[in-house]
């Protein structure tokens, strides 16, 4: 697949970019390895922090430019693009400020004289998706550059200008060549980079298939891997949850980034037949009220999905669900206008024998369920191969905690559909992958926790 900008709002091909040559790729890997060995790892934390925090400042100074790339290339609403820029800058700042304390040697009280030191391991390869082009990178670049590692970044083929823009951040901030390198690499070239002995770890956010392929290749070469894969997050509505507010929250959870969010709400589970009917009615009306428009216009409430391929995939899943017995309560069709627009869609009567029951719907499509009690709600919530996030809505916070604790996921939210910030670890279980990003847990994924013990000399 070529690296090119196609405007999702119009379908217009804007610009194409050449893949890196094999010679260029070898030069990139060699430069990264050399700067790690001779420069970056040897710098003080304060020296690295100066560059990373300057990159955050540039993001804020040029927010209009950087947000524009997101809206142009993947169709994100302009307000959401600005939000992503701000969040990404906050993540870089967080690690620039916290790295010194994270890197302090830790004494082991039960073993006098024993210390645990946190050291970098070398060149890392990051493989990142298109749905959050800056945020996904910041989650990797912030902690790993601050710990002293260096990064080769292969971005998604449909956001090349965003990829280049993020690379310019570190160049403008004063990072030496090789500390952060964007590579427009093919799948075959990525495989060779994974196998290169100079590369010591791989992190990927993407599909299950991509994660399995990368994990297998990295494993054969004894490389550490972090995988952030798909999700089919449930939103459980308990009997006492305020109805209108919860419906509004469910729409936000499903429609964030036009539904193209791995930890967005995918399945809504309401306890009680009457409550379920009222909830569905309100949810369908709110979804139907979203109006398509130019994502660069702040009045637009429905943006396009990222590509023709993404749209066709969703239309195929909706048709498969329908053929297998599901009901389309609203939407389900392509919108008759230029670009890649899909009607906000709600599917009901999705039974266990429907293939969609265990699939991820990565777009403005929600599955809706009504159950009799909490036990059935949890059974349904956990009846998925994924385990990324989930949420519970209730007026009883203690009950909410108990229900959230029983959701099989890496994250659970009470009375909010989704939450992310630098201080909170992000990651899942089951087919949603393994490893964590953000917080101190993300800082520690690609490090050498080195034991040093000290004993007095013999007298």
Residues near 456 by beta carbon (within 8 Å), at least 6 away in sequence: none
CA distance linking residue 384 with residue 356, whole number of Å: 11
3-state SS assignment for residue 62: coil
Residues near 60 by beta carbon (within 8 Å), at least 6 away in sequence: 85, 86, 89
Angle at 115 between CA 112 and CA 120, to 5 degrees: 170
**Cα→Cα distances 237→49, 201, 449, Å:** 43, 40, 42
Considering 84, 128, 262, 445, which one is annotated as catalytic?
A: 262
- 447, 448, 440, 437: which is closest to 135 by C-alpha? 437
228 is catalytic: yes
CA distance linking residue 145 with residue 290, whole number of Å: 41
Considering 84, 228, 360, 445, which one is annotated as catalytic?
A: 228
73 is catalytic: no
CA distance linking residue 403 with residue 374, whole number of Å: 8
322 backbone dihedrals φ, ψ, rounded to 5°: -65, -45
- Please identify every residue annotated as catalytic: 228, 262
């Amino acid at each position: 697949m070529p690296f090119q900008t196609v405007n999702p709002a119009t379908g217009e091909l804007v610009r194409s970019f050449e893949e890196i040559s094999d010679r260029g790729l070898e030069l990139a890997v060699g430069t990264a390895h050399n700067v790690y060995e001779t420069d970056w790892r040897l710098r003080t934390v304060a020296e690295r922090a100066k560059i990373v925090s300057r990159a955050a400042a540039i993001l804020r100074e040029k927010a209009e430019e950087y947000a524009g790339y997101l809206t142009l290339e993947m169709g994100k609403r302009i307000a959401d693009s600005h939000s992503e820029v701000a969040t990404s800058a906050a993540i870089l700042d967080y690690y620039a400020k916290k790295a010194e304390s994270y890197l302090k040697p830790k004494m082991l009280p039960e073993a006098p004289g024993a210390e645990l030191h946190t050291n970098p391991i070398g060149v890392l390869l990051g493989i990142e998706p298109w749905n959050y082009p800056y945020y996904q990178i910041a989650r990797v670049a912030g902690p790993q550059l601050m710990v002293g590692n260096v990064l080769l970044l292969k971005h998604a083929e449909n956001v090349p200008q965003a990829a280049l823009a993020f690379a310019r951040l570190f160049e403008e901030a004063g990072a030496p060549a090789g500390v952060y390198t964007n590579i427009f690499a093919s799948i075959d070239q990525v495989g060779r980079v994974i196998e290169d002995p100079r590369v010591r770890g791989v992190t990927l956010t993407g599909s299950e298939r991509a994660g399995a392929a990368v994990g297998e290749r990295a494993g054969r070469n004894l490389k550490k891997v972090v995988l952030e894969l798909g999700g089919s997050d449930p939103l459980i509505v308990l009997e006492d949850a305020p109805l209108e507010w919860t419906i509004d929250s469910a729409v936000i959870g499903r429609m964030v980034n036009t539904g193209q969010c791995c930890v967005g709400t995918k399945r809504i589970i309401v306890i009680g037949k009457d409550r379920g009917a009222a909830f569905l009615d309100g949810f369908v009306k709110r979804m139907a009220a979203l109006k398509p428009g130019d994502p660069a216009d702040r009045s637009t409430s429905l943006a396009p999905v990222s590509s023709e391929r993404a749209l066709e995939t969703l239309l195929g899943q909706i048709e498969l669900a329908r053929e297998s017995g599901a009901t389309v309560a609203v939407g389900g069709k392509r919108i008759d206008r230029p670009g890649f627009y899909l009607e906000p869609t709600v599917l009901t009567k999705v039974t266990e024998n429907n293939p969609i029951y265990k699939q991820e719907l990565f777009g403005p499509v929600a599955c809706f369920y009504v159950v009799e009690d909490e036990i059935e709600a949890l059974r349904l919530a956990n009846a998925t191969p994924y385990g990324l996030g989930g949420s519970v809505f209730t007026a009883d916070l203690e009950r909410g905690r108990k229900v959230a604790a029983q959701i099989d996921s890496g994250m659970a939210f009470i009375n909010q559909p989704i939450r992310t910030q630098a201080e909170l670890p992000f990651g899942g279980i089951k087919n949603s992958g393994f490893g964590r990003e953000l917080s101190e847990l993300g800082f520690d994924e690609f490090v050498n926790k080195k034991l040093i013990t000290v004993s007095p000399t013999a007298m």
